[in-house]
């Protein structure tokens, strides 16, 4: 029977999440590329929305490259070196920074959409304000934590900045939940108010897509938050590696301007 307590077992335990994370990153990069292509071929949103989509796309490419570089560092360059998991290379803090920036853009865009579509619905306006405020808090927490770890790159520093990472993940979990609830309310009200059966069918499809994407993102953040207590084992690397990709997928749901603008709560 194989011994999983030796150096090879330790390497497999630490490298496994990195390997799974980069696999999911490549898979979701393909999904995102198809979404982006469909968006640019099918929609003609205002210039600032298209600029945001281009910005998010650039951040996604940067995340994809950084995640692959991170996997190469651990799985190829330093595969047989257990001690490499004590230090923190530049890639993990860069991934956290990219995720924080992307989440602020995506969640801020959702806050704006909920505010504008909500019209005079005070509860939706409150949701939009909460999403915007908490989004800024979690985004800057991620950037600050990543900068501090980059200045002192080791797992002890990650533990010392535990509160900042928790604020990032808990804030992201809160905003993703509020966004999903707010968008579902808007879509359900629009479906009820639509006189056309064909539009009700479209709204049903958008509602299902919103539920699936929102649930996937929320669950990923929740799992990442739960696993962060075991950061010394790098288990959090699986979900944190592709969290940004799910945030970007959520962004393309918000870009369905011609559908969402049809309904008024």
Residue 215: give its domain's CATH number: 1.20.1070
Mean pLDDT of 154-173: 84
**pLDDT value at position 242?**
60
Mean pLDDT of 20-42: 83
Instruction: Answer whether residue 1 is part of any domain.
Output: no
Instruction: Answer whether residue 2 is part of any domain.
Output: no
Instruction: Answer whether residue 210 is part of any domain.
Output: yes
For residue 59, give its domain range. 7-260
Mean pLDDT of 190-199: 71
Instruction: Answer whether residue 184 is part of any domain.
Output: yes
Instruction: Answer whether residue 130 is part of any domain.
Output: yes
Render pLDDT for 141-156 as a digit per residue (tens, 0 to 9).
999 989 998 898 887 8
**pLDDT value at position 50?**
84
Name the pTM for this structure. Answer: 0.80
Report the candidate in 37, 62, 104, 43 with the shortest Cα–Cα distance to residue 251: 104
pLDDT for 244 beyond 90: no
What domain count does the chain have?
Answer: 1
């Amino acid at each position: 029977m194989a011994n999983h307590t030796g150096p090879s077992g330790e390497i497999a335990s630490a490298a496994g999440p990195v390997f799974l994370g980069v696999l999911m990153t490549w898979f979701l990069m393909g999904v995102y590329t198809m979404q982006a292509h469909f968006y640019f071929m099918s929609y003609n949103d205002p210039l600032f929305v298209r600029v945001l989509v281009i910005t998010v796309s650039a951040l996604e490419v940067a995340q994809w490259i950084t995640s692959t570089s991170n996997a190469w560092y651990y799985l190829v360059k330093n595969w047989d070196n257990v001690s490499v998991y004590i230090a923190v290379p530049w890639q993990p803090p860069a991934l956290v920074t990219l995720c924080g920036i992307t989440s602020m853009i995506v969640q801020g865009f959702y806050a704006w959409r909920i505010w504008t579509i909500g019209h005079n619905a005070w509860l939706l306006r409150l949701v939009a304000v909460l999403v915007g405020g908490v989004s800024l808090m979690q985004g800057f927490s991620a950037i600050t934590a990543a900068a501090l770890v980059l200045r002192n790159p080791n797992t002890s520093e990650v533990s010392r900045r535990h509160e900042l990472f928790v604020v990032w993940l808990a804030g992201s979990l809160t905003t993703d939940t509020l966004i999903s609830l707010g968008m579902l309310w808007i879509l359900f009200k629009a479906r009820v108010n639509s006189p056309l059966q064909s539009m009700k069918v479209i709204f049903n499809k958008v509602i299902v897509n919103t539920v699936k994407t929102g649930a996937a993102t929320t669950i990923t953040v929740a799992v990442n938050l739960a696993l962060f207590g075991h950061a010394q084992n790098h288990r959090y690397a699986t979900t944190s590696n592709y969290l940004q990709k799910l945030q970007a997928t959520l962004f393309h749901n918000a870009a369905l301007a011609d559908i969402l603008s049809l309904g008024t709560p």
